[in-house]
Amino acid sequence: MATIEELKARLPLPDLLRAMGLGEYAKKLCCSPLRKDNNPSWGIYQDDKGWHWKDFATGEGGDELDFLKALHNCDTKEALKHYENMAGLPQPAQPTTVSIGKLPDPGEWHQAVESLAGNPKTLAHLANWRGYSKTLMVGLIEHGLAGLVGEAIAFPIYNEGGAYQGMHLRTESGWRITGGGNEPWLIGSHDADNLHVFESQWDAMAFMDSQGYGNGAWQPETHACIITRGASNARKLEGRLHPSQKVYIWPQNDEAGAKWAKQVAEMATGDVFKVKVPDDINDTNDWLKRDGKSALKSGLALAVRITDKTDKTDTIDETDTTPAGLVIKRYSDLQTTPMVVPPQVIDGVLYKAGKMIVGGTSKGRKTWSLMDLAAAVATGGKWWDFQTNLGDALYINFELQEFNFRQRMEAILKARKAKDASRLHVLNLRGQAADMTVLRPILERAIEQRDFSLLIFDPIYKLLGNRSENDASEMADLMNEFEALAVQSEAATIFAHHFSKGAQGSKFAIDRMSGSGVLARDPDAIAILSEHQEEDAYICETILRAFPALPPFGLRWDFPQLKPCADLDIEGIRQPGRNKAFSEKQLLDLLPSGGLKFGDWLEKAKDEHAIGKTTFYKLLKLLQDRDLVFKQEGGLWTPFGQFTNRKN
């Protein structure tokens, strides 16, 4: 008999959870696998004594043995038997093998998962073959949902009590079952709010990919999948569909799939919806490969309610049904649903899947700033005093020649003292301007195997195609393309745009960009870079949809970055054709011999030199100190010499 120390060394808590099909709970913070839990309050951690779990809501916790005792509601002796059964004996060598037709060795599934995790070529092949993202593949390994036996992809089989009993293997000759027989496969919580039913694990994983499985967006309390492993096994779901659940059926487009969907609907006791897979597509996995994640999300929203589950025909009557996504809900019901908040890419500014536009003058450091942002995200650094969160960043460059882009980025990385730029990516497309409608599906296919946090397009006008930037409907169409890309990739999307011609100081920040106002009003975040009166200085004004408003702030150019500068006059926006630095002589020259009221003088200074109120006061103080201007009793300001001449 193995000691507890030997068992912990062989199957520590994270691996124990995965071996039991509970890989989604092998996290620092998540919902509890031991009780109904709508708010993350459970987690695992490691210290110098080993692995432990902790329920922060109940105060319970302990090691691997304590977890098994709590899970099975048993004593220490019984828990130890469970642990020994799960740990099993070490296998001889790779590749993993199983004995067909025999009860499984309890440790074989853990070894199969490790075998797949250690075979990146097989992982890449599986992702390319099935159109899955890199994020999903990582999630499948992390949660112990896929393995490798020899050259065969394998999936676990658990009995209704949750104990491992064999594998579902895809061999060259077809599918094979090992161990104790076939059973439906539940992924997620058995009492999740929404249960999605599939014939095939390929289809289930396509749906999981569309919902962000593996990147933190998936919540097992909200969505769960159950897979019958074939159309003929629908009746095995008897008793597994809870009355409180919404059941979503995802059938394949064939006669067997229609009968399967009918049988599933008959067994469901709660609300039942059917997702309509397009007629020219075989199944959900093919749908993902052809149309992407956003199509599956739309399909889920448009799922139709099944109202007559007793119809004796082999197909489901879908007439007079309301799409699931168009069902009006009470807000009180919404309050009880777990809130899924996406990760922030730029703290306090932008979430993942959000859109942002950076506007500025021509040659106004927009490209430098966006390249610096890409470097910040790829290395987890700050950008303009905003903390960014580490993630992969892709810069789609239409502006610079490749050598010039590299020169600039090298300077930025050096300034940041960045040693690892492996998360930074670039797509150089200078000279290849394209319509975003044409580029988007190509780009989606190019990035689908990567989990990007940030996509930057510089500049946006290279993606207009035949659109006019002054046409509101055409710009709305362009923004819809960016929205679709953000939804599909789940990455924040940022693009650069230029100011309109003419003076900018008298305009609201949101109105300074060229073209239709749609460009300024559609994004979730806007950053406006206006040139300051001082040389190589800028004022940044932000407009944020999802975060509290920020006050304008100053930036000063310090090659190769713009850096925050607290001493800039934020009213000092430069006007074209005027000097950036002002003297009291310029202000004095605006004052005619007949004099001006203070307000008229200030307005003239703003119109002709873009002198802000703060700067005006400073210059006026200098003129007064040198006795060059005089304020008469009626409030009229005149040149001091002119006033003296009239008195004499």
Residues 200 and 322 placed together within one structural domain of the fold: yes
Does one domain contain both 6 and 102? no
3 state DSSP class of 311: coil
10 or 259: whose pLDDT is higher?
Answer: 259
Same domain, 81 and 200: no
Mean pLDDT of 566-585: 66
133-188 confidence digits (pLDDT tens): 888 898 899 889 999 988 889 999 988 777 888 888 887 667 888 876 788 999 98
- Phi/psi region, residue 510 (left: phi>0; alpha: psi -120 to 50; beta: rest), is alpha
Residues 320 and 199 in one domain: yes
Burial of 28 (0-12, 13-18, 19+ CB in 10 A): exposed
Could you say which of 88, 104, 119 is where a domain stops?
A: 88
* CATH number of the domain within which 164 lies: 3.40.1360.10
Asked whether the beta carbons of 147 and 155 are under 8 A apart, the reply is yes
CATH code, domain carrying 598: 1.10.10.10
* pLDDT tens-digit series, residues 211-261: 888 876 777 778 899 999 988 889 889 888 888 789 999 999 999 899 999
Give a yes or no: residue 473 inside a domain: yes
pLDDT the model gives residue 512: 56
Domain-ending residue, one of 536, 565, 594: 565
**24 and 136 part of one domain:** no
CATH, residue 519 = 3.40.50.300
Position 474 scores a pLDDT of 86
CA 442/CA 452 separation, integer angstroms: 16
Q: How many structural domains does the chain have?
A: 4
Across the chain, mean pLDDT equals 83
- 211 and 252, same structural domain? yes
Nearest to 273 by CA among 293, 294, 245: 245
Q: Where in the sequence is the domain holding 67, given as residue range(s)? A: 1-88
**Three-class HEC string of 23-70:** HHHCCCCECCCCCCCCCCCEEEEEECCEEEEEECCCCCEECHHHHHHH
- 566 versus 508: the higher-pLDDT residue is 566
Amino acid identity, position 178: T
| Torsion sign, CA atoms 260, 264, 267, 273 | negative
Cα separation of 512 and 359, whole Å?
A: 8
Alpha carbon dihedral 257, 261, 264, 266, in 10-degree steps, equals -130
Q: What is the pLDDT of residue 101?
A: 46
